[in-house]
Amino acid sequence: TLPRQICMYLMRRYCNLSYPEIGRRFGRHHTTALHSDRVIQDQLADNAGLRAAIVLIEKELLRSAEGSG
């Protein structure tokens, strides 16, 4: 569940997709995307490990985007 929630959070943040679109891409209801985004946002304040993991993922995504463009 957590990896999917992180992906949904990042898609919302970086891809400018609506919750219904994110849900469709995962074969889920839009409320699942909304819940995932909120769960991750709530946990970022208190969970240093999650925060660090997301920072690493973001850096890798940005590095990949720079390399492909």
| Cα 21 from Cα 16, distance rounded (Å) | 10
Is residue 13 within 8 Å of residue 36, measured between CB atoms?
A: no
| Cα 37 from Cα 63, distance rounded (Å) | 23
At 45, which helix (H) or strand (E)? none
Find tokens 């898609």 and name the residue: 11
- For the chain, give the percent of residues with pLDDT over 70: 99
Examine the pLDDT at 31 and tell me if it is beyond 70: yes
Instruction: Read off the pLDDT band of 18 (50, 70, 90).
Output: very high
The set of residues, in sequence order, having a beta carbon less than 8 Å from that of 51 and lying 6+ positions away, is 44
